[in-house]
Amino acid sequence: ALAAQDNNYENTIKTIAHRGSSGHAPENTIAAYDLGFEQKADYIEIDVQMTKDDKLVSIHDTTVNRTTDGTGSVGDYTLEELRNLDAGSWYDESFAGEKIPTFEEILDRYRGKIGILIELKSPGLYPGVEQKVADALIERNMHKPNNNKIIVQSFNHDSVKRFHSILPSMPVGVLVGYGQAENGEITDEHLEGYAAYADYVNPNKSLLDHDTVDRIHQHGLKTWPYTIVDQEWVDRLMGYGVDGIITDYPELMDFR
């Protein structure tokens, strides 16, 4: 991979293991997060939702259908019921018995070892989820300004603002899907709005070009695009000067 600006760039760009090392293990399981850690990613990305009994868990879809042996909505399950599901077999029998991790389990297992990029997934379905996430961080003293390896992000920007107002010292990011841009463009108006509370603009990779990355930086923001699965895109995005790569395959960044 070719660096955009300087020799140090290749050493400073961050690798974020998307849902863990999800190209090699079932997404959002301890197996996938552990692999991300072993592959020396800088962060694991986790999707956080809430159970019927208000416990935080990590799963991507709002139903358990695709990634477990159960059916139905995450929010209709108690934690105990969810923990009985198999979150590994759908991917490969060798991962049978993997469970849906709890948010607190993830914090306790990885704190100080690897950064955690926390996505509030469909927070509109889970009133109070921002406060719950904040409480779990505060309880562990993981909300301090000098702890720069915990970041909270969401496609729901109201939710990001809500979290930011609860814990203003913690870095937050706005996820920007294709449909959230204006004819495929992240405008300066967007960026001024994001810069009022956020530290990261993490867009669909197709929304970036050299000029957009420059404008993101001019607004004092960093950018970690998603989701990268091949070397071509790593090289292209590094040519633009992005600050991180959210990928299912952390080994794409092995030049670091």
The entry of Ca ion, ligand G3P, none near residue 116 (CB within 5 to 8 angstroms by kind) is none
Q: CB neighbours (10 Å) of residue 16?
A: 26
Quick check: 248 binds Ca ion (CB under 5 A)? no
Using the rule CB under 5 A, which residue among 34, 98, 119, 243 binds Ca ion?
119
Check residue 27 for interaction with ligand G3P (CB under 6 A). no
Query: What CA–CA distance (Å, rounded) separates 61 from 134?
Result: 22
Smallest separation, CB 141 to ligand G3P (Å):
25
Site mask for ligand G3P (CB under 6 A), range 49-78, x = bound: -----------x------------------
List of residues 6+ apart from 138 with CB closer than 8 A:
167
Binding mask 36-65 toward Ca ion (x if CB under 5 A, else -) reads -----------x------------------
**What DSSP letter does each residue of 41-72 carry, written as one string?**
-SEEEEEEEE-TTS-EEE-SSSBSTTTSS--S
**Cα gap 40→87, rounded to integer Å:** 24
Q: Which residues pair with 58 in a beta bridge?
A: 48
Task: State yes or no: residue 18 binds ligand G3P (CB under 6 A).
Answer: yes
CB count in 10 Å sphere of residue 10? 15
Which of the listed partners (ligand G3P, Ca ion, none) does 246 bind, with a CB threshold of 5 to 8 Å by partner kind?
ligand G3P
Residue nearest to ligand G3P (CB): 226
Would you give the distance in Å from CA 57 to the centre of its chain?
Answer: 14
Q: Is residue 24 annotated as a catalytic residue, yes or no?
A: no
164 is catalytic: no
Give 222's DSSP letter.
B
The tokens describing 201, both together, are 């603009």
Name which of ligand G3P, Ca ion, none residue 14 binds, using a CB cut-off of 5 to 8 Å depending on partner kind: none
- Enter the tokens of residue 177: 């899907």
Chain residues binding Ca ion by CB under 5 A are: 47, 119
Chain residues binding ligand G3P by CB under 6 A are: 18, 45, 47, 60, 119, 175, 202, 226-227, 246
